[in-house]
Structure 1
Amino acid sequence: MSSVKEYLFEIQNERADEWIRERLSDAQLDEDSEEWQQLASEYSNYQDHLLEEAEWEAELKWLKENGSSNIHRFFVDELNALKTMAESNLGHSTKMAFMLHSNIVVKMSYAYAVTLLESFLGDTLKALITEREDFLHNAIRNVEEVSKAKYSLAELAETDLNICNLAVKHATEILFHNIPKVKKVYEQVLGVKLQLDISKVSKITALRHDIVHRNGYSKDNEPINLNAQDLYQAIEDIREFTSSLQKQINAL
């Protein structure tokens, strides 16, 4: 361990000891006591909570600062970078090592393209809820994950009864690889019917499920064989789908 890490670890231990000693019923109790161990566990849970809250606040700040249009631009840049990387790797088709492993490269890239899609859909929806009051109200009234959410007193206290923050937090429970469900949720939030062809993207997300959860085999235990052109077509289909969605969002 480096000297810097050792120093930080020591500081953290000192803070934990101080926190525990302030709460001990008997100052003579030491680290071997049951009460000390209980307080140590509470301190650890408290630090995990603070870290989670800090990450959540950072995400909300990022969503509010960037908005749906910038999120789409970031997504397109990442999608382009993925295609460029895939083309670079798949361009060595004459090398024996590549020929043996090209299917792995394609499947990994294919799966990541859908990961980018899911991230875009999730971040965009949350950004929309933070951007406009009517979208927030639509989410509260119409989106099941938000409208039927149950809140603990601790959760309400942590968010200072900020309805927008609570709505965004529960919007993260939506499964963004379920494209028909996603389309419905977007319509519920935006308050309009979307003219979106989801057939191609739905097939892409289904294939990604097989790649990730069955190591590239279908439900019938048939191997899924994808080539470079299948990957490039999937990227273009995802690009077309998200561009159509973003155009309709921008028109509102």
Structure 2
Amino acid sequence: MSASKDLFFEIEAQQCSLWIYNQYGLDVNAEDTTGLWNELYDEYIEMLDAEQAEYLWLERHSHNQFFHEFSTDLTTANSLLTLAGNKTQANTTYKLVYAHAVTLLEALISTVVRKLVISEHRLMLNLVTEYDALSKRTIPLKQVAQDPAIVQGIVLKVLSELSFHNVATIREILSAMFGDHMKGLELADIARICNKRHDIVHRNGKTVDDEPIDLSIEDVQQAIHDIEVFAADLKRRVYEALEEKDTKVQP
């Protein structure tokens, strides 16, 4: 085996050992003879394959497509409200559509942010610099030199673990990435909607005081409207940030 291949496998084994330790708190390396290394190494490779597949999926799509699909899916969700049957069925339908509308928004923000991380280097650097969970990380220069894409990989992994139905997370990530373009972004209505979605999903439609949440079709339609307005404002701000970049590179 060539020296370059030896180095490649040595680096891969080191990265796998680090992943095992971070994931399971186990200090296991390639010299292990119990069979545990082989089992966890296979899991590590599956994780890398999944991350690569996700990266390629993001690469194939545009942020514009994500906004368009969100709008279409939200309209479809709204149309389901008219299909509710009796009172019991209607109550369940309203809760399902309400929760799904929030999920659509969460998916929109997550995918747009991750797409722009891999396509807009400037925005990724903003996020790395301004978001504490990333800016305070320490990465050995040797590791970065061996794999220049490692920073992007870490950013994508951190983002994939966040819940974008958490308003504090939404504000923090968008502010870090887009700076002044997100000043004045109105999140009060979204916070209220996300809180009710939490009651629906985690307590089967009951508040912390065990009071059932009764939704009318008007309640759900208003929530969908508020989500739609927020998404339109977010799209405008994102596009303005991208246009600013394009303007700056003009001679």
1:108 aligns with 2:103: no
Q: Secondary structure at the match of 2:207?
A: coil
The answer to whether the Cα contact below 8 Å between 1:86 and 1:109 also exists between their aligned partners in 2 is yes
Q: Which runs of no fewer than 5 residues in structure 1 stay unpaired? A: 1-34, 93-97
Where do residues 1-252 of structure 1 align in structure 2 (5 Å cutoff)? 38-39=34-35, 41-87=36-82, 89-90=83-84, 92=85, 98-149=86-137, 160-162=147-149, 163-194=151-182, 195-252=184-241
Identity value in percent = 26
Task: Tell me the TM-score normalised to structure 2 length.
Answer: 0.74
Whole-Å Cα distance in 2 between the matches of residues 161 and 185 of structure 1? 23
The answer to whether the Cα contact below 8 Å between 2:181 and 2:238 also exists between their aligned partners in 1 is no
Aligned length: 206
The answer to whether the Cα contact below 8 Å between 1:67 and 1:131 also exists between their aligned partners in 2 is no
Deviant stretches of 4+, over 4 Å? 150-153
Q: Secondary structure at the match of 1:251?
A: helix
The answer to whether the Cα contact below 8 Å between 2:70 and 2:108 also exists between their aligned partners in 1 is yes
Q: 1:111 to 1:244 in 2, by over 3 A?
A: same
> Between Structure 1 and Structure 2, whose CA radius of gyration is higher?
1
Q: Which runs of no fewer than 5 residues in structure 2 stay unpaired? A: 1-31, 242-251
Whole-Å Cα distance in 2 between the matches of residues 80 and 151 of structure 1? 44
1:152-207 deviations in whole A, cap 9, x for unaligned? 99xx69x9341222212212233311224312321211122423221111100000
Whole-Å Cα distance in 1 between the matches of residues 178 and 129 of structure 2? 12
Root-mean-square deviation over aligned CA pairs: 2.4
Q: 1:106 is aligned with what amino acid? A: Y
Task: Tell me the TM-score normalised to structure 1 length.
Answer: 0.73
Quote the offset at 1:108 in angstroms: 1.4
Q: Secondary structure at the match of 2:49?
A: helix
Quote the offset at 1:100 in angstroms: 2.4
1:49-102 deviations in whole A, cap 9, x for unaligned? 222211211111122221322111121122122222332x22x3xxxxx22232
